[in-house]
């Protein structure tokens, strides 16, 4: 060890000479720890011409003692996504649960047994377990609600309860381009189907999403997702959207008035909500248009067709095109199952060949725009499942694809300034969505 120290000092003569030439004092301490030993060197020239005094100090260090303490009542939190082939047993294994008593409770408790029926792929399930895999708590979100089933270990066994989710809103910006269809484009950029449907509904009075879409049409939108513990539970509403169809730009901004009523408006404050939707089906195709002379497919005679036929599978939801009151609900000659709705002023609409009616549809019932009133069928004089739709003014049928549809009232002047401030923020978010899309798809 002494030879090693001498070798270390032998490399520092120039340093010592410099210290001798300066009137100030420098103290330096270097430590090297090796095998529990410490060596310290001190350089302290007391005078300009006096030799440097070297002192070596050896000190034995006590090795530290480490004690690993076992955690008392340790718990572990596990999260897993439900897989397509999952059962309760396989899901519990991946969650780290090894507890026959818990499995028995999940299978037999009236509330907890709903978990087995709602194992939707992709759903996030959380479990809290003990060291030996015993279940302490299980958190399972319910389908289609803002609630979850909670299973907890109590002093005398397990108990289940239904609790409301604490949801947090998150804003998402997305942009895409039509290649084949709206849903194909939204799927390509990860937009949920519920948001794609909202997008079609917002612009449905201006764009027929079955006939009017063009390859190269573009859209940008800002929407909300509602999350629980960082995991998406469901989508919220679209906050703003822009759609470029056939080189024409349409914009929509959500705005809630001081009275608490919300709607979509254009940048200049016009209400996008038309008094009537253009179509009673979200997505369909026109199989027979409005005409004064058509060969009837069943009667094989030439007669007027005073409505529009939309081809769709049996059971497809039929929606009311406007707020109104049920004037007729039942069977009527060639129409088969028919609903007639009375709307504002002189307007009414008719929906024929229905397979059935929605639960509360009866004469005198109030309906809202977009509400499901019935289901596509082929009752009456029909060769296949489709909806026969009529638009009437003063009880006279007119072409619903050509009639000028009245709009809802615009924003009044007292609300417009507040709307402009809100829409400016949303417009900048839409621009951000476009830039993100351009950066990811150069």
What pLDDT score was predicted for residue 66? 56
Instruction: Report the alpha-carbon distance of residue 259 to residue 305 in Å, rounded.
Output: 44
- 3-state per-residue secondary structure call for 122-152: CCEEEEEEECCCCEEEEEEECCCCCEEEEEE
List the domain range (segments joined by +) for residue 39: 2-46
Instruction: Identify the bridge partners of residue 349 per DSSP, sorted by sequence position.
Output: 341, 391
What pLDDT score was predicted for residue 205? 75
pTM of the model: 0.55
Strands of the sheet containing 75-81, edge to edge, are 75-81, 124-130, 135-141, 147-154, 157-164
For residue 357, the domain's CATH number is 2.70.70.10
- The reply to whether 99 falls in a domain is yes
3-class DSSP state for residue 69? coil
Tokens standing for residue 195: 């948001």
Which of 230, 265, 300 is the last residue before a domain boundary?
A: 265
- 3-state per-residue secondary structure call for 53-77: CCCEEEEECCCCCCCCCCCCCCEEE
- Kindly state whether residues 239 and 294 are assigned to the same domain: no
Which of 164, 196, 218 is the last residue before a domain boundary?
A: 164
Q: Give the chain's residues under pLDDT 70.
A: 1-52, 63-73, 231, 258-260, 283-306, 402, 437-442
Instruction: Report the alpha-carbon distance of residue 292 to residue 36 in Å, rounded.
Output: 105
What is the residue-averaged pLDDT of the chain? 79
Give the single-character DSSP code of 430: H
Q: Let me know: does 96 contact 76? Beta carbons within 8 Å.
A: yes
Instruction: Report the alpha-carbon distance of residue 89 to residue 231 in Å, rounded.
Output: 23
- The DSSP bridge pattern shows strands 218-228 and 168-177 to be antiparallel
- Kindly state whether residues 105 and 203 are assigned to the same domain: no
What pLDDT score was predicted for residue 442? 53
- The reply to whether 107 falls in a domain is yes
**What length does the chain have?**
442
Rg (CA), the chain: 37
- The reply to whether 417 falls in a domain is no
- Kindly state whether residues 296 and 393 are assigned to the same domain: yes
What pLDDT score was predicted for residue 56? 74
What pLDDT score was predicted for residue 363? 93
* Count of domains for the chain: 4
Q: Let me know: does 197 contact 411? Beta carbons within 8 Å.
A: no
Instruction: Report the alpha-carbon distance of residue 386 to residue 375 in Å, rounded.
Output: 10
């Amino acid at each position: 060890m002494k030879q090693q120290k001498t070798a270390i000092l032998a490399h520092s003569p120039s340093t010592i000479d410099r210290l001798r030439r300066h009137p100030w004092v420098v103290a330096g301490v270097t430590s090297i720890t090796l095998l529990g030993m410490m060596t310290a060197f001190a350089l302290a020239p007391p005078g300009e011409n006096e030799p440097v005094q070297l002192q070596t100090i050896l000190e034995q260090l006590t090795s530290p003692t480490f004690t690993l303490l076992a955690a008392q009542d340790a718990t572990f939190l596990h999260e897993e996504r439900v897989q397509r082939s999952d059962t309760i047993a396989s899901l519990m294994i991946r969650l780290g649960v090894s507890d026959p008593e818990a499995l028995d409770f999940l299978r037999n408790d009236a509330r907890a047994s709903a978990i087995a029926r709602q194992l939707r792929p992709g759903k996030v399930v959380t479990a809290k377990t003990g060291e030996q895999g015993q279940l302490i708590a299980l958190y399972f979100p319910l389908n289609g609600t803002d609630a979850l089933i909670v299973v907890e270990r109590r002093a005398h066994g397990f108990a289940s309860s239904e609790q409301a989710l604490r949801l947090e809103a998150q804003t998402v910006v997305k942009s895409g381009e039509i290649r084949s269809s709206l849903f194909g484009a939204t799927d390509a950029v990860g937009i949920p189907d519920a948001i794609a449907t909202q997008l079609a509904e917002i612009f449905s009075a201006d764009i027929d999403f079955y006939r009017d879409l063009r390859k190269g049409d573009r859209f940008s939108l800002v929407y909300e997702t509602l999350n629980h513990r960082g995991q998406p539970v469901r989508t919220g509403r679209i906050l703003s959207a822009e759609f470029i169809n056939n080189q024409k730009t349409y914009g929509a901004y959500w705005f809630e008035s001081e009275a608490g009523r919300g709607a979509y408006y254009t940048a200049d404050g016009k209400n996008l909500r038309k008094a009537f939707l253009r179509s009673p089906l979200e997505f369909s195709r026109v199989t027979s248009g409005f005409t004064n002379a058509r060969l009837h497919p069943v009667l094989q005679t030439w007669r007027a067709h005073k409505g529009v036929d939309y081809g769709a599978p049996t059971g497809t939801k039929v929606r009311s095109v406007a707020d109104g009151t049920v004037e007729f609900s039942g069977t009527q000659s060639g129409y088969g199952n028919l609903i007639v709705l009375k709307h504002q002023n002189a307007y009414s609409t008719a929906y024929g060949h229905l397979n059935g009616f929605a639960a509360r549809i009866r004469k005198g019932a109030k309906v809202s725009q977009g509400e499901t009133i019935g289901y596509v069928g082929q009752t009456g004089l029909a060769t296949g499942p489709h909806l026969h739709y009529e638009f009437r003014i003063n009880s006279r049928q007119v072409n619903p694809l050509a009639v000028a549809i009245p709009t809802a009232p615009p924003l009044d002047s007292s609300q417009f300034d507040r709307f402009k401030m809100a829409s400016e923020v949303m417009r900048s978010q839409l621009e951000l969505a476009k830039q993100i899309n351009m950066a990811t798809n150069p």
